[in-house]
Structure 1
Amino acid sequence: MTSSDSTPAPRAWIVWSLRVTATAHLAGVLAQAALAGLFVTGDVDLLTWHRDNGGFTHAVLYLQLLAAVLLWRPGRGAGWPAVASAGLVVVETVQVALGQWRVLGGHFPLGMAIFGLSAVFTAWTWLALRRRTSAAGAA
């Protein structure tokens, strides 16, 4: 048995907090892509929606960061989700700035990267954490 096997699984409310916030963040990121696509096809009113949804999505990311920190301490889970969430906060802050400055050559590809990273992170919360909490419940 390795030391990680003997570590108790994080409390369910912490795991669910991370799952819900990561999923909500991913949904906001997907909405950002949809709104951007509709905006560039000519519906200029959606730029305001894109801006407002960006602020909401970024705020949800801070809740995800909080949940990831709780998973790590006091939850005794892995620390990398907190680091990854903090990294996303930095990257999304740059993304917001690029959008406000209308630097679309950086804003579009960075948005794609944020979507990919958020999707992988969210999938991890549902798949890997389920295995960990299931294994702890069986022990």
Structure 2
Amino acid sequence: MSSTNPLPGPRGWIVWSLRVTATVHLAGVLAQAALAGLFVTGDVDLLTWHRDNGGVTHSVLYLQLVASILLWRPGRGPGWPALAGLGLVVLETGQVVFGQSRILALHFPLGMAIFGLSAVFTAWTWLAFRRAA
């Protein structure tokens, strides 16, 4: 009896779409932290950059969610990345609302949580499915 999985794993383009979108999203999140730090130190012009980068980063997260769904269906991969992507969408939507409302007591720690979760998710995309890519 063969010990191999009878179902093929996710196709390489699905894995790569998830890796690329997760990596670009993580880079955007890192840029958000850098821009916020520079804004807080007195460069008020960077608040506009922070806002604009946040919009782009949030948009990339929706692409990451689509890639996560494709990994699950039709890719026959795990479903938890789609749920994690949806969770990040919810968290980042709250992040945008808190930032626009200037509720910094929630905006700052939520940004740190989003960075940590995004970093773990991105690392997982590069460590998992090594043969599929």
- TM-score over 0.5 for the pair: yes
Instruction: Give the gaps of 5 or more residues in structure 1.
Output: 135-139
Q: In structure 2, what is the Cα distance between the partners aligned to 1:29 and 1:133?
A: 27
Instruction: Give the gaps of 5 or more residues in structure 2.
Output: none
Q: In structure 2, what is the Cα distance between the partners aligned to 1:30 and 1:91?
A: 16
Q: In structure 1, what is the Cα distance between the partners aligned to 2:16 and 2:9?
A: 13
Choose between structure 1 and 2: higher helix proportion: 1
Number of residues of Structure 1 aligned to a counterpart in Structure 2: 131
TM-score, normalised by the number of residues in structure 1: 0.91
Say yes or no: does 1:47 pair with 2:51: no
Deviation at 1:128, TM superposition (A): 1.5
TM-score, normalised by the number of residues in structure 2: 0.95
Deviation at 1:35, TM superposition (A): 0.1
Say yes or no: does 1:38 pair with 2:47: no
Deviation at 1:93, TM superposition (A): 0.1
Q: In structure 2, what is the Cα distance between the partners aligned to 1:6 and 1:126?
A: 24
Runs in 1 of length 4+ with deviation above 6 angstroms?
A: none
1:27-68 superposed Cα distances (whole Å, 9 cap, x missing partner): 000000000000000000000000000000000000000000
Partner of 2:132: 133
Which structure has more relative contact order (CA 8 Å, sep 6+)? It is 2
What CA RMSD, in Å, does the superposition of the two structures yield over aligned residues? 1.2
